[in-house]
Structure 1
Amino acid sequence: MDEQRQMAALWFRELRDRITSAFEAVEDRGPGDAPVGRFVITPTERGENGGGGLMSVLRDGRVFEKVGVNWSEVHGELSPRAQAAMAARGVPGMDSDPRFWASGISLVAHMQNPHAPAVHMNTRMFWTPHAWWFGGGSDLNPCIEYPEDTAHFHAALKSACDAHAVDYYDRFKAWADEYFFIPHRGRARGVGGIFYDDLNSGDWSADFAFTRAVGEAFLPAFLPLAEAHMAQPFTEADKETQLIHRGLYAEYNLVYDRGTKFGLETGHNPDAVLMSLPPTAKWP
Structure 2
Amino acid sequence: KGIPGMRDDPRFWAAGISLVAHMQNPHCPAVHMNTRMFWTPHAWWFGGGSDLNPCIEYAEDTAQFHGVLNSYCAPHGADIYPRYKAWADEYFYIPHRKRARGVGGIFYDDHCTGDWGKDFALTQDVGRAFLPAYAPLVEARLNQPWGEAERDAQLIHRGLYAEYNLLYDRGTKFGLETGHDPDAVLMSLPPLAKWT
Q: Find the partner of 1:267 among 164, 179, 186.
A: 179
* Deviation readout 1:80-130 (Å, 9 max, x if unpaired): xxx2xxx3xxx4235666553210100000011101100000000012333
Q: Find the partner of 1:116 among 16, 20, 28.
A: 28
What is the TM-score with the length of structure 2 in the denominator?
A: 0.96
> Percent same amino acid among aligned pairs?
76
Report the equivalent of 2:124.
Answer: 212
Report the equivalent of 2:78.
Answer: 166
1:199 and 2:118 aligned: no
Report the equivalent of 1:241.
Answer: 153
Whichever residue aligns with residue 105 of structure 1, its letter is I
| Number of positions where the alignment pairs a residue of Structure 1 with one of Structure 2 | 196
What is the TM-score with the length of structure 1 in the denominator?
A: 0.67
Residues 180-199 of structure 1: pairs in structure 2 closer than 5 A:
180-199=92-111
Q: Which structure: greater strand fraction?
A: 1
Closer/same/farther in 2, CA of residues 231 and 180 from structure 1, 3 Å limit: same
Report the equivalent of 2:67.
Answer: 155
How far apart are the structure 1 equivalents of 2:9 and 2:166? 28
Alpha-carbon offset, residue 270 of structure 1: 1.2
Whichever residue aligns with residue 147 of structure 1, its letter is A
1:111 partner SS: coil
How far apart are the structure 2 equivalents of 1:97 and 1:104? 22
1:254 and 2:166 aligned: yes
How far apart are the structure 2 equivalents of 1:158 and 1:123? 16
1:144 partner SS: coil
Q: Please list every run of at least 4 consecutive aligned residues from structure 1 whose deviation after the TM superposition is greater than 6 angstroms.
A: none
How far apart are the structure 2 equivalents of 1:99 and 1:266? 16
Q: Find the partner of 1:228 among 132, 135, 140.
A: 140
Whichever residue aligns with residue 133 of structure 1, its letter is W
Which structure ranks higher in relative contact order (CA pairs < 8 Å, sequence separation ≥ 6)?
2
Whichever residue aligns with residue 214 of structure 1, its letter is V
1:104 and 2:26 aligned: no
CA RMSD of aligned residues (A): 1.3
Whichever residue aligns with residue 92 of structure 1, its letter is P
Closer/same/farther in 2, CA of residues 98 and 252 from structure 1, 3 Å limit: farther
Q: Find the partner of 2:48 among 136, 139, 143.
A: 136
Q: Which runs of 5+ in 1 are unaligned?
A: 1-82
Whichever residue aligns with residue 208 of structure 1, its letter is F
How far apart are the structure 2 equivalents of 1:180 and 1:126? 22
How far apart are the structure 2 equivalents of 1:169 and 1:95? 35
* Deviation readout 1:168-197 (Å, 9 max, x if unpaired): 000000000000011111100000000000
Whichever residue aligns with residue 191 of structure 2, its letter is P
